[in-house]
A = this chain, B = another copy of it.
Amino acid sequence: MPQLRKDSIVDRWVIVASERGRRQAAFADPVNQQTDPASCPFCKPDIVGAYGHTPLLLTNGQVRVFQSGTPFFMATEPYTCQKHGLYEACSSWGSHEVVLETPDHVANMADLPLDDIGKIFSTYAQRMLVHRKDPLIRYVLAYKNYGVAAGSRPIGHARSQIMAIPVNPVRVKDKIYGAKRYYDFHERCLFCDLIHQERKDGQRVVLENGEFLALTPFASRFPFEICIIPKRHCCDFAQGIAGYEGQLAQMIRELLMRFKCGLNDPAYNYVIQSAPFEGGGGYKEYPTIEEDYHWHIELMPRLMRVAGFERGTGFYINPIPPEMTAEFLREVRL
């Protein structure tokens, strides 16, 4: 019999099926991102010229950050908001950047050296620290789409994206409010308590190292969904990661290798979930957020299509229990 599970952070119910492999047929094909380096715009020697003459913003080891050639956010006009009766529209002030993770034509972050992966995360942190000086910026999204099913284009060259935006995304707010409700009642951090319970229980733990825990959330929306949580309490990615990039790189690379070997190189996404900040520094909008919130990463292979009613209702059907996917991932032979 399927089970209805409530997410412990946000107000969301998920149906979790109990039979292994239910709807397995709906799972996607492998990514197969092997494209020709000769036609890859990211492989050209003059990368700036080849990538639409967009400015180079930062170099960090092998990692380079460019402004996107087709940016959704730019800081080139005055920030304006207009009311049209019931509606409000604002100019898309901010920054939209491409993080080129390697000069080589390697598609999957799983195949990069550990040092280079660590540099990708320190690059996100550096860009976040730059953007939060802008008083109009409310949030910085750092994320990766790998494979067409994950929303990427078929260019087999590892990269991720950063968006600095003037508003707080709704699911970021939902998590913050959920964590705050818990803290207000218990006077303890929800994520710290969750780490404690999951380590004791063990069923949903995929990997653990000195600093990080990777688990399949109790109310996972998608099969093989993973949450990577730092064991050290900190609301902010840029602060929390400093000095621990290597341990995060080691964990992410191992998880991605387990996806690649165990799930046939699936498309995947990750999103860094960090606290928002009041532009210009500090957390004026959320005064207790340093205690309430705990940064983490959502990592999701794209194995199934999301049906329409899930979009319309926020009610998800997950065909495989997270206890089974955690066990499967732990047992993948690398």
Could you list which residues of chain A lie within 8 angstroms of chain B, going by C-beta atoms?
Answer: 1-6, 8, 10-13, 15, 17, 22, 25-26, 70, 72-74, 77, 84-92, 141, 143-145, 148-153, 161, 163, 165-167, 169-174, 190, 193-194, 197, 201, 218-219, 221, 268-271, 273, 298, 300, 302, 305-315, 317
Contacts and interface: CB of A to CB of B under 8 A. Distances in A.
A145 B307 contact: yes
A15 B169 CA distance: 11
A166 B67 CA distance: 48
A317 B72 contact: yes
Contacts of A298: 311-312
Nearest to A222: B311
Contact of A169 (B86, B89, B313): B313
Nearest to A300: B308
Copies held by the complex:
2
A73 B1 CA distance: 8
Given A151-B307, A169-B314, A309-B269, A1 B70 contact: no
A308 B8 CA distance: 21
A306 B306 contact: yes
A326 to B, nearest CB: 15
A8 B143 contact: no
Given A269-B308, A269-B309, A89 B148 contact: no
B271 A312 contact: yes
B74 A151 contact: no
Contact of A170 (B13, B92, B173): B13
- Describe A's contact surface by its main secondary structure: mixed
Contacts of A193: 86
A199 to B, nearest CB: 12
Nearest to A270: B308
A4 B300 contact: no
A314 B86 contact: no
B172 A26 contact: no
Nearest to A144: B308
A232 B326 CA distance: 50
A151 B190 CA distance: 34
Contacts of A15: 72-73, 92
A194 B312 CA distance: 19
30 contacts: A1-B74, A1-B92, A2-B73, A2-B92, A3-B89, A4-B165, A4-B167, A5-B87, A5-B88, A5-B90, A6-B88, A8-B86, A11-B170, A15-B72, A15-B73, A17-B72, A22-B70, A84-B218, A85-B201, A145-B308, A145-B309, A150-B305, A151-B305, A151-B306, A151-B308, A171-B313, A174-B314, A221-B311, A271-B308, A306-B306
A261 B279 CA distance: 47
Task: Please indicate which of the listed interface residues A73, A148, A161, A170 has the most CB atoms of chain B within 10 Å of its own CB.
Answer: A170
B87 A312 contact: no
Contacts of A306: 151, 306, 311
B4 A143 contact: no
